[in-house]
């Protein structure tokens, strides 16, 4: 059987599935339930100066079938007394010594506050720190959270303070609320952070209540920008993860992937694009802690099918496939193909292509239903018909090379080839 044993900065855990710093990791009872369910580790909810949270705190975006697309929160760091958090962290470590216990930190912006907090947390026996440079609401007004992560030089300074005092591994969590995560990532790696995690939540408004005229979450007739997470942010997280994994400075340290991980397939995708492990929050809040059972089983079966014996066999395997647009092969084409045995004759492919794309689908009207076929000479292989088709594998994209040679845009221009002939 393949091994899911994870080694992140020397921190051992039985699998690469950690719970992210959030409400599910705010207290002992939650964390013990998570460990009993099988989670490999947790990042304890951010500790720092005492705060007071508001009510309500969450909102969400759904599809037409009430399935969760994205989740928004305006919750701050832990509002529980520090001494209680520290005592419970120590108790959890003693009860589950084989699980990773990382503690998220957000001290006041001075060296002494960081020193004091680091010492208190290290005394619990915690295995590592995660520096919260990502919280996009509430803490930014105090010069903390994303306010640090958005300024590479401030982030560098804080990490330097931490590295002066910390004796256990340090992970720096990056904010996505920037034009690029790379500058801050580079700064904190140069400052000495042992690892990176990303992404934190994205500033957002999920919608406006059409009766009260106030966006949710609703707090006495007002609202604020919240932090967006869940399945909807996964594509953004994967892009930012890859940009860190491809950078020659930031790819020197291991990365913990966060942002829309809901299934074992999501976790594999993150790890293929450079993450050494993954952190989960929204999916656990939506479905409960036992989802980790499916994650463990699914990843194990996939690794066995692919012949991978350990996680390191596939971590980062897809990073090199992300290139620049100018390097893509112009001679590589796809043509859509409709499986008439699977077609339910709904016409969605025809409508989409006819109205908004390349008019590449024939319609033969009949009784009791219409028949649709591809005009191969017109098809540009855009995938739109496949995307809108409600039937799995009814429409497939078949490779069709214009010419056998590889030809990218730069070479195309260098040769002065006519656009209309290619």
Q: List active site positions.
A: 135
Q: How far is CA 231 from CA 68, 155, 176, 262, 301, in A?
A: 8, 28, 15, 7, 23
Residues whose CB is less than 8 angstroms from the CB of residue 2 and which lie 6 or more positions away in sequence, other chains included: 300, 303, 304, 308, 309, 310
Residues whose CB is less than 8 angstroms from the CB of residue 57 and which lie 6 or more positions away in sequence, other chains included: 73, 74, 75, 217
Of all helices (H) and strands (E), which one includes residue 402? none
Output the CA torsion sign for 100, 106, 109, 112: negative
If you ran DSSP here, which 8-state letter would residue 137 be given? S
Residues whose CB is less than 8 angstroms from the CB of residue 92 and which lie 6 or more positions away in sequence, other chains included: 28, 31, 32, 35, 101
Helix (H, G, I), strand (E, B) or coil at 383: coil
Torsions phi, psi for 14 (to 5 deg): -70, -15
Output the CA torsion sign for 115, 116, 121, 122: positive
The gap from C-alpha 185 to its chain's centroid, in whole angstroms, comes to: 16
């Amino acid at each position: 059987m393949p091994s899911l044993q994870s080694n992140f900065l020397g921190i051992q855990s039985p699998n690469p599935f950690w719970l992210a710093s959030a409400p599910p990791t705010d207290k002992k009872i939650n964390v013990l339930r998570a460990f009993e369910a099988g989670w490999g580790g947790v990042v304890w909810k951010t500790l720092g100066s005492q705060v007071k949270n508001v009510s309500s705190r969450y909102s969400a975006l759904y599809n037409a079938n009430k399935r969760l697309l994205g989740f928004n929160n305006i919750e701050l760091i832990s509002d529980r007394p520090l001494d209680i958090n520290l005592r419970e962290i120590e108790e959890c470590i003693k009860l589950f010594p084989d699980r990773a216990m990382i503690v998220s930190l957000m001290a006041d912006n001075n060296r002494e506050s960081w020193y004091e907090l680091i010492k208190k947390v290290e005394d619990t026996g915690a295995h590592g720190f995660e520096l919260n440079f990502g919280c996009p609401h509430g803490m930014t007004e105090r010069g903390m959270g994303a306010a640090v992560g958005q300024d590479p030089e401030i982030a560098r300074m804080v990490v330097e303070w931490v590295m002066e005092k910390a004796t256990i591994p340090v992970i720096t969590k990056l904010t996505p609320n920037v034009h690029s995560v790379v500058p801050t990532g580079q700064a904190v790696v140069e400052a000495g952070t042992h690892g990176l995690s990303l992404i934190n939540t994205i500033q957002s408004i999920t919608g406006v209540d059409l009766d009260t005229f106030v966006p949710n979450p609703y707090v006495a007739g007002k609202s604020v920008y919240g932090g967006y997470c869940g399945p909807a942010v996964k594509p953004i997280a994967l892009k930012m993860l890859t940009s860190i994994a491809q950078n020659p400075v930031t790819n020197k340290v291991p990365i913990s992937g966060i942002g829309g991980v809901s299934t074992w397939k999501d976790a594999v995708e993150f790890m293929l694009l450079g993450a050494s492990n993954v952190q989960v929050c929204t999916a656990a809040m939506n479905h409960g802690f036992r989802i980790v059972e499916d994650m463990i089983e699914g990843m194990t079966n996939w690794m066995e099918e692919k012949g991978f014996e350990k996680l390191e066999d596939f971590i980062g395997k897809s990073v090199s496939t992300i290139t620049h647009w100018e390097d893509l092969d112009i001679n590589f084409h796809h043509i859509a193909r409709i499986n008439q045995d699977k077609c339910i004759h709904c016409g969605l492919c025809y409508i989409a292509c006819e109205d908004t794309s390349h008019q590449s689908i024939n319609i033969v009207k009949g009784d009791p239903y219409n028949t649709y076929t591809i005009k191969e000479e017109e098809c540009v292989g855009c995938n739109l018909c496949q995307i809108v088709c409600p039937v799995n594998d009814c429409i497939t994209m078949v490779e069709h090379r214009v010419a056998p040679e590889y030809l990218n845009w730069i070479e195309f221009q260098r040769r002065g080839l006519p656009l209309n002939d290619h």
